[in-house]
């Protein structure tokens, strides 16, 4: 197995100045040693944190992502940083994993820092990302994620670990740097993996000071390399794969780890290789995602419908803990009485799976389906339906159970909120 040469760019960030930041990083990148496999930037390296996403979020064809593409080509290395991204109208703090061949992966920050102003319309991501580079399995995460051990947790199954290197790209303030140091070390020890933390320096206009403290931690919890505080630094280090293997085999704690999984991790490979087998991994192990969690996602879709002056009903379809389709009512926009959230979600889910039957899937919808949608769900052999509010007037249940006999049904999740959205809408219409 190859070693992995990484370079950390610990830098100041110019506030709300993408052009200035990219120019500054252009200069810093001149010092990256050749042979580097992976170059890492602090969180929101093009704008600082947090800024107004409506003003600063770029689309995937915007200047910052294109700049990352160019840099990856020039450096013959993967470059990795986070930015506010607008993906089809959904705003995220997105980590971009840009390869030299211009292919890339996105990880939308799971734990948005609402306490610090990272809130609506920025949405939390729902999927973790594991990528491979030089044969290393790498799990990149963002800043506040460091406080959530279940999200970061490694898995050991049949002699293999889910990942070998964990990364946090951050804007972590100096006032809480003790937390950063402690948790970075803890994440490395508890997951038997190398960890890298990349943090910014300087001050932002809100008076928050950042002192850097970027570092590389060994699977034993030792600090292998770190930057001087409060200065811009280019820190390069080569991670040794053999040392990791030896440590894991001499001290095989992984075998004793508890078996709960967070979600289905999809490993995405270096060069356009198809994702690993999508076999379900929910073999009796726990999932942190509840019906309420997914209903909240359906609720967000309903809110989008409301913004578009459609009847606010939203739906998502989930397969193996992963959202594979999102939709909201679009009868007005499409001029189509069949364009109910459920109908659109069923079609999108079948497209995502490349299969017409959805027996492994759950549909979450904010209102009891009508007979048309219930019929479609029956045809799709949907595994489970969860709806929030009952619809005594137009719901399917007054006709008896129209769903497939094997379909599980759960009702009443987030009932009040979903109903309130509809009631308000109709009040205003009158
Ligand atoms: Zn319907």
**What pLDDT sits at residue 157?**
78
329 alpha carbon – ligand 1 mean position (Å): 9
Residues with a known catalytic role: 43, 109, 143
pLDDT at residue 77 above 90? yes
pLDDT value of position 107: 97
DSSP state string for 49-76 = SS--HHHH-B-TTSHHHHHHHHHHHHHT
Say what the pLDDT of residue 156 is.
85
Helix (H) or strand (E) holding 319: strand 314-319
Q: What is the pLDDT of residues 24-65, one digit of tens each?
A: 999 999 999 999 999 999 999 999 998 899 999 999 999 999
The pLDDT of residue 170 is 98
Mean pLDDT of 84-107: 96
Q: 146 pairs with which residues across the strands?
A: none
Tell me the CA–centroid distance for residue 342 and ligand 1, in Å.
Answer: 6
- Per cent of the chain over pLDDT 90 is 81
Ligand 1 centroid to Cα of residue 334, in Å, is: 15
With beta carbons less than 8 A apart as the criterion, state whether 364 and 336 touch.
no
Average pLDDT over residues 147-172: 93
SS (H, E, C) 117-180: CCCCCECCCCCCCEEEECCEEEEEEEHHHHHCHHHHCCCEECCEECCCEEEEEECCCHHHHHHH
DSSP 205: T
In this prediction, residues 425-430 reach a mean pLDDT of 84
Cβ partners under 8 Å of residue 363, min gap 6: 315, 316, 317, 342, 345, 346, 349, 377, 382, 384, 385, 386
CA 45 / ligand 1 centre spacing (Å): 44
The pLDDT confidence band at residue 236, using thresholds 50, 70 and 90, is very high
Q: How far is the CA of 390 from the centre of ligand 1 (A)?
A: 13
pLDDT the model gives residue 279: 36
- The residues near 205 (Cβ < 8 Å, ≥ 6 apart) are 15
Other C-beta atoms closer than 10 Å to the C-beta of 116 total 15
| pLDDT tens profile 402-416 | 999 999 999 999 999
Higher pLDDT, 212 or 285: 212
CA 93 / ligand 1 centre spacing (Å):
33
Q: What number of residues does the chain have?
A: 430
pLDDT score recorded for residue 264: 37
Distances (CA, A) of 198 to 6, 71, 204, 335: 11, 18, 17, 50
Residue 258: the pLDDT is 80
Scored b (16 or more CB within 10 A) or e, 177-202 reads: beebbebbbbbbbebbbbbbbbbbbb
CA of 340 to the centre of ligand 1 (A): 5
- CA angle, corner 154, sides to 151 and 156, nearest 5? 145
pLDDT of res. 259: 62
Query: Cα-Cα-Cα-Cα dihedral of 135, 139, 140, 142, to 10°?
Result: -170
Of 181, 163, 166, 49, the closest CA to residue 112 belongs to: 49
Contact 60, 52 (CB under 8 A): no
Of the ranges 212-221, 273-282, 346-355, the best mean pLDDT one: 212-221
Taking residues 204-217, report their average pLDDT: 95
pLDDT tens digit sequence for 249-302? 999 998 888 864 333 344 443 333 333 333 333 333 345 578 888 999 999 999
Q: Indicate the SS3 state at residue 299.
A: helix
| Residue 180 contacts residue 199 (beta carbons within 8 Å) | yes
pLDDT level of residue 322 (50, 70, 90 thresholds) = confident
Per the structure block, which two tokens stand in for 313?
């009903």
**147 C-alpha to center of ligand 1: Å?**
41
Name 27's Cβ contacts closer than 8 Å, sequence gap at least 6. Answer: none
Query: In which order are the strands placed within the sheet that holds 104-108?
Result: 104-108, 90-98, 78-87, 38-40, 4-10, 233-239
Q: Which two tokens stand for residue 365?
A: 């919808």
pLDDT of residue 32: 97
Segment 388-414 mean pLDDT: 93
Region 115-121 average pLDDT: 89
Rounded to an integer, the average pLDDT of 141-148 is: 97
In terms of Cα–Cα distance, which of 353, 352, 349, 398 is closest to 376? 349
Across all residues in the chain, what is the average pLDDT?
91
Work out the burial of residue 306: count CB atoms within 10 Å of its CB; fewer than 13 is exposed, 13-18 middle, 19 or more buried. buried
pLDDT at residue 429, as a whole number: 78
């Amino acid at each position: 197995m190859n070693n992995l040469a990484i370079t950390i760019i610990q830098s100041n960030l110019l506030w709300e100045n993408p052009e200035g930041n990219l120019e500054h990083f252009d200069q810093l990148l001149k010092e990256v040693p050749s042979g580097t496999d992976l170059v890492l930037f602090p969180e929101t390296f093009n704008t600082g944190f947090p800024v107004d996403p409506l003003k600063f979020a770029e689309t995937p064809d915007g200047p910052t992502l294109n700049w990352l593409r160019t840099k990856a080509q020039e450096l013959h290395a993967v470059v990795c940083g986070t930015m506010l991204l607008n993906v089809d109208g959904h705003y995220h703090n997105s980590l971009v994993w840009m390869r030299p061949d211009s292919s890339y992966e996105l990880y939308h920050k799971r734990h948005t820092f609402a306490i610090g102003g990272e809130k609506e319309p920025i949405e939390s991501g729902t999927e973790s990302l594991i990528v491979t580079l030089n044969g290393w399995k790498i799990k990149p995460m963002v800043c506040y994620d460091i406080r959530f051990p279940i999200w970061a947790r490694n898995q050991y199954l049949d002699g293999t670990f889910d990942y070998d290197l964990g990364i946090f790209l951050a804007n972590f303030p100096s006032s809480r740097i003790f937390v950063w140091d402690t948790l970075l070390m803890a994440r490395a020890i508890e997951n038997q993996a190398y960890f890298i933390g990349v943090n910014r320096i300087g001050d932002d206009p809100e008076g928050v000071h950042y002192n850097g403290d970027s570092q590389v931690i060994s699977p034993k919890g030792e600090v292998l390399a770190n930057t001087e505080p409060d200065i811009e630094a280019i820190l390069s280090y080569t991670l040794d794969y053999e040392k990791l293997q030896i440590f894991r085999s001499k001290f095989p704690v992984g075998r004793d780890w508890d078996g709960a999984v967070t979600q289905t991790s999809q490993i995405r490979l270096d060069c356009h290789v198809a994702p690993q087998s999508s076999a379900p991994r929910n073999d009796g192990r726990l999932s942190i995602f509840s019906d309420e969690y997914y209903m909240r996602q359906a609720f967000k879709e309903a809110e989008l419908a409301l913004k578009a002056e459609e009847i606010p009903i939203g739906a998502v379809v989930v397969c193996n803990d992963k959202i594979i389709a999102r939709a909201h009512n679009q009868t007005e926009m499409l001029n189509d009485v069949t364009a109910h959230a459920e109908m659109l979600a069923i079609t999108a889910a079948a497209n995502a799976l490349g299969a017409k039957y959805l027996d492994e899937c759950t549909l979450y919808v904010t209102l009891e389906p009508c007979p048309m949608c219930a019929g479609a769900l029956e045809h799709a052999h949907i595994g489970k339906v969860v709806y929030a509010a009952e619809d005594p007037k137009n719901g399917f249940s007054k006709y008896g159970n129209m769903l497939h006999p094997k379909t599980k049904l759960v009702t009443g999740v987030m009932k009040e909120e979903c109903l309130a959205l509809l009631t308000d809408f109709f009040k205003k219409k009158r």
